[in-house]
Amino acid sequence: MDPPIYAPTFLAGALGLWSRVAGFDPHDLARRVAELSLVRMPSLRATIHLTTVEDALALPPIVAPLHRRVFKGSEYGRDLAGLDLDEVVAAGVELLRDRPLTVTELGRELAGRYPDRKPTPLGAAVQYGAPLLQLPPRGVWGETGRARLAELGRTLGRPVGTDTSADWLVLRYLRAFGPASTADVRAFTGVGGIREVVERLDLRRFVDERGRTLYDVPDGPLPDPDTPAPPRFLGEFDNALLGHDARTRVLDTEHRSHVLLKPVRPLLVDGMAAGLWTSGPDGLVVRPLAPLADADAAEVVAEGERMLAALWPEAERTVRVEQP
């Protein structure tokens, strides 16, 4: 069994940025990851995220209770029942001050101190319990490397934050995904106490068709319902599908079992999950979840070709739509 923190691939992150940022350059992203001006670390939902340095330093006190709760409820947490987890984490951090280690290496080192425990849960306890980051070349475009862990503050040369308030995090979420319910915010962040946060913030309030209160930042744009939503190729576990508790706004119920929480790459058409796609030596293959109109299929091909030219300019590849 792998360590319980899921680490999405760099390609998935690059695809996510490509679908959102005009003029995105994966090589510029790779440079920022390599120089640690962007940081890969366990954070929201106890998964690996790519963050700015400022966010990386501010998130640990907010997500720490979540990480501990997730670890204790996992198989690894049960394997370490009866141990003082704070002691295990402190011992692991001390080891990391000597040199970066993978979770597996960290667990093997700690097993010398706790010989009656399995190594991997010991390493995972440190990954969950301390503010750590993954060092490059892990996550650098075109390179490979093991997920070596290091202390966050020590590596960045700046102190890790101590403020446990999630106000700024909720505001950032709403700027990206609002209007949204408190359940939506919890589903995306994994952080508790969201209702108390929204009650003290100056937010706009709406009511959806189910009577739920939706919140948004005061200046949040409300696009016209007829605003075009061009096709978008997304990576595995993209936040467009994980950003809400009520995911029917981007995923029809009948397609849920094909897409949600699975390591597949979704295609959005008109803002809704409309297919899955794969890549290979010959290009992209799109498999719609339901037949696409000719005009939509043509737009999908054009967007796929544009993405190939930007992310893999050296390769001559095609985009093929296989209608169901």
Write the pLDDT tens digit of every residue in 169-198: 999 999 999 999 999 999 999 999 999 999
DSSP H/E element including 314: none
Encode pLDDT of 262-312 as tens digits: 888 999 999 999 999 988 777 889 999 999 999 999 999 999 998 888 877
Encode pLDDT of 50-101 as tens digits: 899 999 999 999 999 999 999 999 999 999 999 999 999 999 999 999 999 9
Q: How far apart are CA 134 and CA 153, in angstroms?
A: 12
Q: How much is the mean pLDDT over the chain?
A: 89
Q: How far apart are CA 182 and CA 216, in angstroms?
A: 11
H helices of the chain, where? 10-18, 26-34, 53-58, 60-73, 75-79, 85-96, 103-111, 119-129, 152-156, 167-177, 182-189, 194-200, 239-242, 256-259, 294-311
Q: Is the pLDDT of residue 5 over 50?
A: no
Q: How far apart are CA 46 and CA 132, in angstroms?
A: 12
Q: Is the pLDDT of residue 102 over 90?
A: yes
pLDDT at 233: 94
pLDDT at 4: 38
Mean pLDDT over 141-160 rounds to 86
Environment class of residue 25 by beta-carbon count within 10 Å: exposed (0-12), middle (13-18) or buried (19+)? middle
